[in-house]
Structure 1
Amino acid sequence: MNENDTKRLSRLTAILTQLQTKRLTTATSLAEKFKVSLRTIYRDISALIQAGVPILTEEGKGYTLMEGYKMPPVMFSESQANALILAEQLVLKNKDASFIKDYTEAIDKIKAVLRYSEREKVNLLADRTRFEQNVNRKRNSNNISQIQYALTNFLLIKMEYINEKNAMTIRNIEPFALISTTENWLLIAWCRLRNEFRYFRLDRVSKLEILTEKFEQHKMTLQQFFDKTS
């Protein structure tokens, strides 16, 4: 096997990983990622199909894998998969480009072997989490895992919240996103008491309960939320 064959085999494996990681992948994004031409990507996709990989084309949208096709599963619990996504956000703050590249590729491989429903959840969580380094490294909340679960499963949260005036209120909220500032974790959620999106500091949550009631997913990304509220 010559160097070109080795490179192509490596790219085909990486393309398969990308297809397993994301619900839809475009030829353009693959060409940009692997720094090859669109024609090369088309040939690679054709080669994977000929090898028996069930790749489907959604007209005008991109490529997707037939539901149910995956490599042997890795036995992660949902909370463990969520913890890996949170760790990815921490790694992205590292200053070393090679370290970020290696970790991101490892996370892509982990996502690729998760079940479809789990993969959709970790992708949602990755999109809805932002992290800024906590310079004091103080641990001032213990509800993140529960909130992550409620966020990705669209479950209502009931909590006792202490506001800046030290007054306690009971809120039913629809969790939308998690953000870490330099001092505190913040939860963005639709507050049913105030009938609007609110920011909640997790260190002010005195009690939290995940309810069985589901809410309708908010059809926007975190960036769209920022753009809308800025």
Structure 2
Amino acid sequence: MNRFDRVTAILLQLQAKRVVSGPTLAQQFGVSLRTIYRDLRTLEEATTLLTAVLTAQLTDAPTARFSGAAMDKVRAVLRRSERDHLATIAPHVQVFAPRN
């Protein structure tokens, strides 16, 4: 199983179950506990990115500016590799308003 599929499967389990342990996930996917923690960090970053994009696109201008400033602070505390990864995926994230 590739990393994207594993992270997606972890996300689905986190949404479906009240409690999911790291060691259980590691055993289930045949990876180390450290890998599971890295995958969870990836999900945290994705959530942060999605929240920032949603806030910026679906709100008024002042709130969008605050959201942008908050995202700048998040980027500032990330490791360089994480910032680079975020810069790589950010242009590929799109949010579409719901149809009425």
Q: Is 1:83 aligned with 2:47?
A: yes
TM norm structure 1 = 0.25
Contact 1:90/1:131, CA 8 A, preserved across alignment: yes
2:73 corresponding residue in structure 1: 109
2:36 corresponding residue in structure 1: none
Structure 1 letter corresponding to 2:70: A
Provide the C-alpha distance between the structure 2 equivalents of 1:77 and 1:106, rounded to a whole number of angstroms: 18
- 1:164-203 aligned at under 5 Å gives the runs none
Post-superposition offset of 1:91: 1.2
Give the share of equivalent positions with the same residue, in percent: 26
Of residues 58, 68, 86 in structure 2, which corresponds to 1:94? 58
Of residues 114, 131, 136 in structure 1, which corresponds to 2:95? 131
Post-superposition offset of 1:92: 2.0
Q: Which has the higher strand share?
A: 1
> Residues 164-212 of structure 1, C-alpha deviation per residue, up to 9 Å, x if partnerless?
xxxxxxxxxxxxxxxxxxxxxxxxxxxxxxxxxxxxxxxxxxxxxxxxx
Which of these two proteins has the greater Rg computed from alpha carbons? Answer: 1
Structure 1 letter corresponding to 2:48: L
Post-superposition offset of 1:95: 3.7
Structure 2 letter corresponding to 1:86: L
Provide the C-alpha distance between the structure 2 equivalents of 1:95 and 1:82, rounded to a whole number of angstroms: 20
| Count of matched residue pairs | 61
TM norm structure 2 = 0.54
Structure 1 letter corresponding to 2:42: E
Q: Which has the higher helix share?
A: 2
Provide the C-alpha distance between the structure 2 equivalents of 1:126 and 1:103, rounded to a whole number of angstroms: 15
Post-superposition offset of 1:87: 1.5
Root-mean-square deviation (CA, aligned residues, Å) is 1.8
1:62 corresponding residue in structure 2: none
1:37 corresponding residue in structure 2: none
Contact 1:82/1:125, CA 8 A, preserved across alignment: no
Larger RCO of the pair (alpha carbons < 8 Å, separation 6+)? 2
Judged with a 3 Å threshold, the aligned counterparts in structure 2 of structure 1 residues 113 and 94 are, in CA distance, closer, same or farther, namely: same
